[in-house]
């Protein structure tokens, strides 16, 4: 499966079982592989045979092309990361791991990292790559990993001399694949220091306290939006109890005392958690959120879409899946993709590449209602797979 020309904010539609969660789990798998190793990431998902395409042949293969904008350059190099995973004697191994940069629009890409089966080389003289006016003469260093199921970017990315590899590792470590759970966010946690919301949201109170104390202007923005969207909410605070725990409290203007988080609605907790996530002072380079509409009133969804767009405008990539026509109605044509599954294989389609859908939108139809009528499900139109 291949997806090209992604906008910075993309929403994926599809029936249950079409592959949306699997698509998002690609990023979760790579993150798990970096934090531990390939074997652990596979075992977490049932092993190699459960991750591998049922009737496929060869290796599990990934190829990701992107630009790293963290240095504020107007045109950063095109980066390609390739990862192939196979088995040897029933043990998973990395048969290919390549991180390559292309300088300019033409010329051969330089393999800053080139590994297979636990051994390989990496470029150590990266300074010359930054100068486009001269030919780059690479200098390489050979390395051997402790095990062939370890990603080379995990080991080499810890050394300053491998700057490109370390930069990519930082991006991968900062990916965020949401698995938000309302009950986890409502729980009372031990007092601790947390700068970023966890994938389940169980540290919501700690992050609230951090933003309030460290970034008061951002917290004011969050609170202003919260009071505007949730009727009655006047204030939100994070309080430390005598036994050293953190409690999230919500003040309803109709009552004298605030309510602790487990006594407020699921929708209130979820909206506040999304505002905290999307106003992170250090945004994630990749943000994946599944079905954000759950527990939220439909009227709040267009505003949530705007929050996702603003987050993406800061330089991150935002991927969202949904079952809500109301959320889809708030989207632009280039932001919508849909998945179809035939004979066990999933394909992804771009709404802007389908001429009938494009014409209907230009005539005033909303994408959510077109989807509801079957236009974004491969029925009644010729889907254009890419």
Q: Which pLDDT belongs to residue 185?
A: 80
Contacts of 243 (CB under 8 A, 6+ apart): none
Do the Cβ atoms of 84 and 112 come closer than 8 Å? no
Angstrom CA distances, 5 to 201, 202, 337, 352, stand at 31, 35, 11, 11
Closest CA to 116 of 143, 134, 96: 96
Higher-scoring residue by pLDDT: 9, 191: 9
**pTM score of the predicted model:** 0.84
Q: Which pLDDT belongs to residue 16?
A: 86
Closest CA to 272 of 327, 320, 318, 205: 205
Higher-scoring residue by pLDDT: 291, 126: 291
Per-residue pLDDT reduced to its tens digit, 326-359: 999 999 999 999 998 888 788 899 999 999 999 9
Q: Which pLDDT belongs to residue 93?
A: 95
Q: Which pLDDT belongs to residue 334?
A: 94
Do the Cβ atoms of 293 and 322 come closer than 8 Å? yes
Per-residue DSSP letter, 32: H
For residues 54 and 77, give the distance between their C-alpha atoms in angstroms, rounded to a whole number.
Answer: 36
Torsion of CA 147, 150, 154, 155, to 10 degrees: 10
Q: Cα-flanking dihedrals φ and ψ of residue 369, to 5°?
A: -75, -35
Q: Which pLDDT belongs to residue 124?
A: 79
Q: Is the pLDDT of residue 305 over 70?
A: yes
Do the Cβ atoms of 247 and 191 come closer than 8 Å? no
Per-residue pLDDT reduced to its tens digit, 19-65: 888 898 988 899 899 989 999 999 999 999 888 877 777 889 999 88
Q: Which pLDDT belongs to residue 134?
A: 62
Do the Cβ atoms of 208 and 248 come closer than 8 Å? yes
Average pLDDT of the chain?
83
Helix (H, G, I), strand (E, B) or coil at 284: coil
Residue keyed to tokens 């979820």: 270
């Amino acid at each position: 499966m291949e997806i090209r020309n992604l906008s910075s904010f993309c929403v994926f539609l599809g029936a249950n079982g079409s592959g949306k969660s699997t698509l998002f789990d690609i990023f979760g798998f790579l993150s798990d592989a970096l934090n531990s190793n390939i074997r652990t990431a596979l075992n977490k998902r049932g092993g190699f045979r459960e991750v591998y395409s049922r009737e496929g042949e060869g290796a599990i293969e990934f190829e990701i092309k992107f630009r790293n904008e963290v240095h504020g350059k107007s045109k950063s190099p095109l980066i390609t990361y390739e990862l192939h995973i196979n088995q040897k004697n029933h043990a998973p191994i990395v048969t290919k791991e390549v991180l390559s940069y292309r300088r300019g629009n033409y010329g051969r890409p330089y393999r800053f990292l080139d590994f297979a089966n636990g051994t390989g080389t990496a470029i150590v003289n990266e300074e010359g790559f930054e100068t486009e006016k001269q030919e780059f003469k690479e200098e390489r260093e050979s390395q051997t990993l402790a095990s062939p199921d370890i990603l080379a970017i995990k080991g080499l990315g810890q050394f300053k001399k491998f700057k490109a590899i370390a930069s990519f590792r930082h991006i991968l470590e900062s990916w965020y694949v949401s698995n938000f759970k309302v009950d986890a966010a409502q729980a009372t946690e031990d007092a601790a220091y947390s700068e970023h919301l966890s994938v389940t949201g169980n540290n919501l109170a700690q992050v609230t306290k951090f933003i309030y104390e460290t970034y008061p202007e951002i917290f004011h923005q969050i609170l202003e939006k919260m009071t505007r969207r949730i009727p009655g909410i006047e204030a939100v605070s994070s309080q430390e109890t005598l036994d050293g725990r953190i409690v999230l409290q919500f003040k309803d203007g109709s009552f004298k005392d605030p309510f602790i988080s487990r006594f407020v609605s699921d929708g209130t907790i979820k909206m506040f958690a999304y505002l905290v996530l999307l106003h992170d002072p250090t945004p994630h380079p990749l943000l994946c959120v599944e079905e954000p509409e759950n527990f939220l009133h439909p009227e709040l969804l267009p505003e949530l879409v705007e929050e996702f767009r603003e987050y993406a405008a800061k330089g991150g990539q935002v991927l969202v899946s949904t079952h809500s026509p109301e959320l889809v109605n708030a989207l632009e044509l280039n932001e919508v993709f849909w998945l179809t599954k035939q004979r066990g294989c999933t394909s992804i389609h771009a709404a802007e590449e389908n001429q009938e859908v494009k014409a209907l939108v230009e005539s005033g139809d909303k994408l959510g209602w077109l989807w509801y009528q079957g236009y974004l499900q491969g029925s009644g139109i010729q889907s254009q797979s890419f």
